[in-house]
Amino acid sequence: MDIFEACFSWQEAELVKSSGLYPYYRTLSSSEGSTVEVDGKRVIMLGSNNYLGLTHHPDVLAAAHDALDRYGTGCTGSRLLNGNLDLHESLERELAEHFGKEAALVFSSGFLANLGAVSLLGHQEGAVLFSERENHASLVDGVRSARSDTRLFKDLDDLERQLAQGTQWEHALVVTDAVFSMSGRVLDLKRLTALKQKYGFRIYLDDAHGVGVLGHQGRGAADAAGVGAEIDLIFGTFSKSFASLGGFIVGERPVIDYLRHKARTIIFSAAMPPSAAASALAALRLMRSTPELFEKLWERVAFFRRGVERLGYHTMGSTTPIVPLLVGSESLAFRMCREALDLGLFATPAIYPAVPLGQALIRTSVTPAHTEEQLAHALGVFEQLAARYPIPKVTDAAQLPAAEEMDFSYLFPEEA
Ligand code: PMP
């Protein structure tokens, strides 16, 4: 067997491309934050994770420029040996202080942080990892490469059932997303920490979509739930609200020091580039000094979410700047995103396995950088699409569509 056979025979992308609806790897040729240029046309960007709209904030740009001038373009080595900048250390100090934890560690990407930390902590004699079924791929890979006793749970009821089979779980780490990235669903962290008190496990919380958005000054989902002190390790990424690239973990100093010296993804990978570290630090300082950012964010989110709900879209109960529009059919999500782009709006489809089969979404997210005019334009686009296509009328979770297999009927409707 040719090891490349799977590649040569794989045709899914070509099939979608031939329908003209291929939605991936779109080429953006410039960006102003709330708008991007695609195929020579400026469109409203409603498909980013730029939750605070800081990618083009003057302070963030100036910090990145200064770092380029002072340190050059890259660190060309791991932090362990030769790439550890005072910028990384300032970022860690201010993050630890911001989250009220003893120490912080920054990695070159969030994926690397999750993979390195979870695989290391889990890789111990007798360790048990409880992992939420919908966790991000980086946690899934961390759990897999820990090669320890792993137990998936589908919700907190399920976790509790599994915990109740024992009495003490000090050797267990519960690994979970705080905000689920496609639906915007927020985990009940009060309940999770109550379980922790009863059973004694440790918690690793991936708050990629909550940090910089929820809680006081963007301290995240745990702060919003009033349980920040109970979470052992909080993970965040700089690739979303921090308008940069990289990831971080905050927690107790000995744990962070252990990760600093042992996690393979930090010691064997080059350091976060200077301009990325400087822009993340500038973004953090803005979160701490500019309450208006959050006021504007929530005002814009409420305006847009109410608007799409009024048009009949189900938004999956999201309470975050992620506003998912339930479409159901995978190929319909592709078609609607294509037509939205033609009407001046960039939004992304989310299909299985990122969401359950038959519950494809158009994933949008709103930022304070969007103007009301831009959001009104976006609502106009979704109004036209809702008039043209059958949007599932769902009022509660029990009515969510189920499907046996992928629905390709909107790829080539003329042939159906
Ligand atoms: N966790 C979650 C929940 C995410 O959504 C992401 C990014 N999509 C990551 C981790 C990885 O972060 P990064 O982009 O920094 O690699």
Q: Is the Cβ–Cβ distance between 148 and 122 less than 8 Å? A: yes
166 vs 340 pLDDT, higher one: 340
What is the average per-residue pLDDT within 25-33? 96
Q: Which atom of ligand 1 has the smallest separation from the CA of 114?
A: 10
Output the CA 112–ligand 1 centroid distance in Å. 9
Q: Is the pLDDT of residue 205 over 70?
A: yes
Distance 119 CA to ligand 1 centre (A): 16
Please state whether the peptide bond connecting residue 353 to the residue before it is cis, i.e. omega within 30 degrees of 0: yes
Atom 4 of ligand 1, nearest CA residue: 208
Under the banding of pLDDT at 50, 70 and 90, the label for residue 167 is: confident
- At residue 182 the predicted structure's pLDDT band, cuts being 50, 70 and 90, is confident
Q: Which of 108, 239, 266 to mutate to test the pocket of ligand 1 (most atoms within 8 A of CB)?
A: 239
Q: Distance between CA atoms of 57 and 369, rounded to whole angstroms?
A: 9
Provide the residue type at 167 as one letter: T
- What are the counts of helices (DSSP H) followed by strands (DSSP E) for the chain? 15, 14
Q: Has residue 415 got a pLDDT over 70?
A: no
CA atoms within 13 A on the CB side of 83: 21
Could you tell me the distance, in angstroms and rounded to a whole number, from the CA of residue 110 to the centre of ligand 1? 5
Complete edge-to-edge strand list for the sheet that includes strand 348-350:
322-328, 360-365, 348-350
Question: Does pLDDT of 16 surpass 80?
Answer: yes
Compute the distance between CA of residue 272 and CA of residue 246 in angstroms, rounded to an integer: 6
Distance from residue 262's CA to the centre of ligand 1 (Å)? 21
Q: How far, in Å, from the CA of 193 to the mean position of ligand 1?
A: 23
Across 76-123, where does the E strand assignment appear? 103-107
**Residues 276-295: b if buried by 16+ CB within 10 A, e if exposed:** bbbbbbbbbebbeebeebbe
Ligand 1 atom nearest to CA at 135 = 3
* Residue 183: per-residue pLDDT: 83
Cα(238) to centroid(ligand 1), Å: 9
Angle at 155 between CA 153 and CA 161, to 5 degrees: 65
- 183 Cβ below 6 A of ligand 1: no
* d(C-alpha 98, C-alpha 217), whole Å: 9
For residue 416, is pLDDT > 60?
A: no
Between 151 and 400, residue with greater pLDDT = 151
Q: By the 8 A CB rule, do 119 and 146 touch? A: yes
Does residue 159 surpass a pLDDT of 90? yes
Task: Report the chain's mean pLDDT, rounded to a whole number.
Answer: 96
106, 107, 136, 233, best to mutate for ligand 1 pocket (most atoms within 8 Å of CB): 136
pLDDT attached to residue 39? 94
Ligand 1 proximity of 218 Cβ (cutoff 6 Å): no
pLDDT digits (tens, 9 = 90+) for 119-142: 999 999 999 999 999 999 999 999
| pLDDT given for residue 398 in this prediction | 81
Name 64's Cβ contacts closer than 8 Å, sequence gap at least 6: 275, 276, 278, 279, 282
Q: Per-residue confidence at 87, pLDDT binned at 50, 70, 90? A: very high
Distance (Å, whole) CA 101 – CA 229: 8
Whether 78 has a pLDDT exceeding 60, the answer reads: yes
Length of the chain as a residue count = 416
Residue 239 near ligand 1, beta carbon < 6 Å? yes
Atom of ligand 1 nearest to the CA of 240: 14
The predicted model gives 246-259 an average pLDDT of: 98
Q: What is the DSSP string of 25-67?
A: S--EEEE-SSEEEETTEEEEE-S---TT-GGG-HHHHHHHHHH
* Residue 138 in contact with ligand 1 by CB distance below 6 A: yes
Q: Which residues of 73-225 form beta strands (DSSP E)?
A: 103-107, 128-132, 149-153, 172-177, 202-206
- Given the CA of residue 180, which atom of ligand 1 is nearest to it? 3
φ, ψ dihedrals at 326, nearest 5°: -70, 130
Minimum CA distance residue for ligand 1 atom 6: 208
CA distances from 60 to 100, 181, 243, 287 (A): 24, 25, 8, 12
pLDDT tens readout for residues 286-327: 999 999 999 999 999 999 999 999 999 999 999 999 999 999
Residue 266 CA to residue 119 CA, distance in Å, equals 12
| Structure confidence by residue, pLDDT tens digits, 358-406 | 999 999 999 999 999 999 999 999 999 999 999 998 888 788 888 888 8
Is the minimum distance from the CB of 181 to ligand 1 under 6 angstroms?
yes
- Quote the ligand 1 centre to 396 CA distance (angstroms): 28
Two tokens at 201? Answer: 């496990």
Apex 347 CA angle, 244 and 134, nearest 5: 70
pTM of the model: 0.96
The reported pLDDT for the residue numbered 132 is: 97
Atom 13 of ligand 1: nearest residue by CA position: 110
Q: Is the CB of 111 under 6 A from ligand 1?
A: yes
- For residue 80, what is the DSSP state? I
181 CA closest ligand 1 atom index: 5
Tell me, using a 6 A CB cutoff, whether residue 177 lines ligand 1: yes
